[in-house]
Structure 1
Amino acid sequence: MQAKYRISEEDYVNTMKLFAKLTRQQIFIYAALALVLIALAVFGSLVVKAGAIGGLAGGLIVTVLGRYIIAPIMARRHYRKYKAIHEEFTVELLQDGVRFISPNADGKLIWNHLVKWRQNDNYILIYPMPRLYHIVPKSVVSDGFDVSLLINRLTQHVGGPV
């Protein structure tokens, strides 16, 4: 089963947000760090309190600016410069993996070579490397592609989404 699709600029920005979504482990680490800084801000000496409060404020500002302002701007810039992403893609679900075809490339990713995958309501990201992914919009279901079968096979062969 095959489906053809294009990635729009908005798709690209939205998949970058999904890519940047924090894992449970990252949330735990950030929460632990925040608790340590809060404890230092409450119980530390005056200099330590000032540093801890500055760290909390700076971390919050950097997180908000980075995630909601800078990252979308950078994603839009990358999309405009990345000419190959503007072309039509074909995804094909195979017994032993997934095949992606574009005018410039044709490649098969076999299940045991995939690192991880993640999804939201609109997209599936398939990772052959920790920071490189292929985008499959769930809207390909309208082209006859069985998205639920892809999810089942990813779960069976790669594990649950991260």
Structure 2
Amino acid sequence: MENSAKFALTADDTVAGMRLYAWSGMTSRKTLIRWFLLWVVLVAVLGWIVTRGSLAPEKLPATALVVLGGSLIPFLLAAIVTVIGVPIQARRTHRQQRTLRGDMTLAWSDDALHIESEYGIFDIPWGHFLRWREDGRSILLYESERLVRIIPKRALSDGQQQSLRASLVHIEASRGKSP
């Protein structure tokens, strides 16, 4: 059937999905605005600390470099923690959560996502998802800000990916948004 796929998530699938989840969250419009405001505050505070309120014109280039470089350190640390921490946490979650490892069959239509696993059979109407994201390895379906369904692209043919994307537009239609 063109509109269905059977698979079991691997630890690598979970890592790829959680990496997409983390980067999507870190680069969302709301988060980028917050990061920008935090950066402005950091520049102002570091500028005041370094100059102590006064600055000789000849020291301006070196001071600006110190302030700008120092203001980027928290963001670099967040990126490093994400790159290193997300795979570790995703693998641990994959080991701990049995429901992630079982065989699953997904089917989709214009109305809903149909899921069958050893834990049950249920349909989730597209309007119940908040949004969806994808990258080269995964498609994420957000049921809430913190709960996502990971669909590994390795389990879908190109035709199935196109078919699923055609159904996913119903998520945006129900929210009035685009991915």
1:137 aligned partner = 152
Amino acid corresponding to residue 40 of structure 2 in structure 1: L
Deviations 1:53-95 (A, max 9, x none): 9x84762464134201122111111111112211111111123
1:151 pairs with 2:156: no
For residues 2 and 45 of structure 1, what CA distance do their matches in structure 2 show?
A: 59
2:35 aligned partner = 30
For residues 68 and 48 of structure 1, what CA distance do their matches in structure 2 show?
A: 36
Distance of aligned partners of 1:69 and 1:47 in 2 relative to their CA distance in 1, 3 Å threshold:
farther
Q: Which runs of 5+ in 1 are unaligned?
A: none
1:76 pairs with 2:91: yes
Q: Which runs of 5+ in 2 are unaligned?
A: 54-66
SS of residue paired to 1:139: helix
2:18 aligned partner = 16
TM-score (normalizing by structure 2): 0.74
Structure number with greater CO (CA < 8 Å, separation at least 6) is: 2
SS of residue paired to 1:20: helix
Query: Identity across aligned pairs (percent)?
Result: 25
Amino acid corresponding to residue 12 of structure 2 in structure 1: E
For residues 100 and 89 of structure 1, what CA distance do their matches in structure 2 show?
A: 7
TM-score (normalizing by structure 1): 0.81
The number of residues matched between the two structures is 158
Distance of aligned partners of 1:5 and 1:48 in 2 relative to their CA distance in 1, 3 Å threshold:
farther
Amino acid corresponding to residue 32 of structure 2 in structure 1: I
**1:98/1:109 contact within 8 Å kept:** yes
**2:132/2:168 contact within 8 Å kept:** no
